[in-house]
Amino acid sequence: MNTVLINRSGESQSVSYGPMEGPVIGTIYNNEVYTAIPQAPLNGSPYPVAFYGVSTKIMFRNSSGQIAVGYLNHPEGGDNTWTDYQEPYHYFGFYGFYDGSYLYRFNIRGSDIAVLNNNGGPATTLNSGDYVCCSSSRSGDAVTNLLQIQKYRKSNVWNTLTNGYVDYGLNQGSMPGTIPVYGTLG
């Protein structure tokens, strides 16, 4: 399961081209949003490599404004202070009771933000003043810049989706003031 995260460590972390190798291709800054992509288990472990291993594969917005894939590398047995403060993005939504469910609500900034149904087809587009609601920070497995949502509100009308998705906007921004789907940090 891919997870949308936000760096709340107060520090920046270099992103490398490959796991434990390669040139630095970017940086994850404090309060920046990105997606962690689990990798196959190492050394026969039943668990995918996440933050407390050799490296974490991520999708992020690079300095050219392009969506890129790279690795956050961590020494085994090293200091995990930075990794302890990578928090699920939904923690920064407005938690409440929305149209019959307890969910995390996010505001929409901008226009023509795509909402997709569970088959990946278009459901609608959202604009400033609309909302999406999710129960977790899960992102799309095939398209990792999509945040899984359960509801959206367009023109003051709530709509329910079964495993719907919204493009949370890495192509437009990855910081609290620029990301189109934002919560308490926007």
Same domain, 28 and 99: no
Domain that holds residue 96: 89-182
Domain boundary among 46, 72, 88: 88
Average pLDDT over the chain, rounded to an integer: 85
**In this structure, what DSSP letter does residue 185 have?**
T
Same domain, 49 and 97: no
Same domain, 72 and 144: no
Torsion of Cα atoms, 125 then 129 then 130 then 134, to 10°: 120
Distances (CA, A) of 163 to 40, 72, 88, 132, 168: 24, 29, 18, 12, 15
- The SS3 call for residue 89 is helix
pLDDT tens readout for residues 3-60: 999 999 898 999 998 877 779 999 999 999 999 987 765 555 544 455 545 678 899 9
Q: Whole-model pTM?
A: 0.87
Domain boundary among 88, 106, 141: 88
